[in-house]
Structure 1
Amino acid sequence: MKINKAIIILTLCVFGCKNKSKLDHPLNDSLKKDTVITSTTIVKDTSTIDPSDSNNNEEIYHADSVNFEKFALDAKPSTVKAPIDWSSYPEAKDFKTRITEAYTSNEVSFAGNYVLARFGCGASCIMGFMVDVRDGKIYDLPLGEENSCSFAEDRAICKTNSRLFISSICKEKPESTKVYYLAYLWNEDKKEFNSIKNEDEFLKK
């Protein structure tokens, strides 16, 4: 009986020592401590990306190609707003609430002196007006259905100190990589927008 007990105790000691040796391996020592495991970050080389590749998920900002500075103004935007002159555009009263809210809350954002009011007019359409802070007169923005497109990348783009207004940046199809621009230039003397057909006139070289 004593021999059997001795054999059992000896067997347990042998297996116990083997298990202890595995747990005391140097690799396991590092895992028992507070170890931070970092993942490898793979940086995609965009220098060889084919723009026509539909699998390319890189964000493209077409508005960055527009040369607003070419039509920049030197004057600083006015901080004083004249009351809205509804008599200058009686039909705009149909949108009185929207125009008033935009004029009250927004700052000058176009051609040095104009506050813009823009709002939807359908699934792929926006319309709007601009108000001159110097005299409160209202003018149409070149938006609406005639300046919209089914696949618009961006719409109603302008800058505070530029006379250039981009109504839409459009694609022929959703999968197209090429875009076209609906661009206008504000004529301060005539108080009207003139269409720019040649993209070379307003796109950066």
Structure 2
Amino acid sequence: MSSNVSSKFVLASASPRRVELLTQIGIIPDAIAPADIDETPLKDESPRRLALRLAEEKAKAVVSAHDGAYVLAADTVVACGRRTLGKPDDAAEARKFLGMLSGRRHRVYGGVCVIAPDGILRSRVVETQVIFRNLNEGDINRYLASDEWQGKAGAYAIQGLAAVFVRKILGSYSNVVGLSLYDADALLRGLGYTPEAG
């Protein structure tokens, strides 16, 4: 394919945060096509492996409907030790997760997968370490009252009110928000994608 032919870019995610992050670096999706897959972890599956598998499965689920496009999919997994903290079902589970993260270091694994128009698939896992300060009952109650925890892996959003919980971060900040921009850009460029100027 000659470099002057611009290919479409499809984001296989319903996450508004991922759209915002990509827009920040000048990559605007031509289409947004959320993948409908089962995100249940496999038996004994590590959080790192889960993030990679889900990103790859999301990309594969969407690519057949978008011939000739670059498809990018991502998945974010919050891990406390070997335990995966998914999106909490309710406030009680969110409270439990925040209690587990309080005063501790945890890891956020971001799976990123890109499938090129010629079918080549490249993927990687990005690891960020996040250290929370000790959270007291009041901190957790206020956060739960905000409803910001809903639909968030690990029951928090680093780009929102939970920013005050974060004592230290080691690695990619954008990975914790939902997509490592460095890695997404590197995978896309490595497969020949260049965003249109203008």
Using the size of structure 1 for normalisation, the TM-score is 0.29
Using the size of structure 2 for normalisation, the TM-score is 0.30
Structure of higher CA gyration radius = 1
- Of structures 1 and 2, the one scoring higher in RCO (CA 8 A, sep 6+) is 2
